[in-house]
Amino acid sequence: MLLSQEEIELVQEAIWLAKRARASNPPKYGEIDLRDPSVFQSAFAEETVQQRALYRFIDNLPRADRGMLQAVMYLGRTGSSHTRKTFRALRERMRRDSDDAARQMTEKASLPEYLRNGLKKLGLRSKKLRQR
């Protein structure tokens, strides 16, 4: 198995937190000029409690778990047909390069979908996430 039960639960927790973060501050596509550098400077000024919770969750994970979560995310947003081989390579690379993972992942509005799709590509079913 490519992911342990504990790792699957980490991914599910990240999906739940990411959905809450997105709901608390939905993306404003078409309402901002991405060529304006001040857009990026103010991005974290408007971050919500839920976004900070997602960031802290990811940032506090051990390096290997951050790398695994990043690998699931990247697998979920690609169209690769070599799922297992791709995941193993991504996981190894992300394990080494996971220092900035929390910021990169927190900024992705589609993070819940990427993670859910990554689980599906690995042949794992994402259980209905508990409501808190």
pLDDT tens profile 56-99: 999 999 988 999 999 999 889 877 666 878 888 888 888 777 67
Whether 42 shows a pLDDT value over 50: the answer reads: no
Question: What are the φ/ψ torsions at residue 96 (nearest 5 degrees)?
Answer: -80, -30
Q: What is the mean pLDDT of the chain?
A: 79
Q: How far apart are CA 121 and CA 81, in angstroms?
A: 9
pLDDT score for 78: 79
Contacts of 128 (CB under 8 A, 6+ apart): none
pLDDT score for 132: 39
pTM for this model (two decimals): 0.77
Whether 35 shows a pLDDT value over 60: the answer reads: no
Q: How far apart are CA 3 and CA 74, in angstroms?
A: 15
Q: How confident is the model at residue 43 (pLDDT cuts 50, 70, 90)?
A: very low
Q: How far apart are CA 108 and CA 116, in angstroms?
A: 14
60, amino acid identity: N
pLDDT score for 114: 93
> CB neighbours (10 Å) of residue 86?
16
pLDDT score for 111: 92
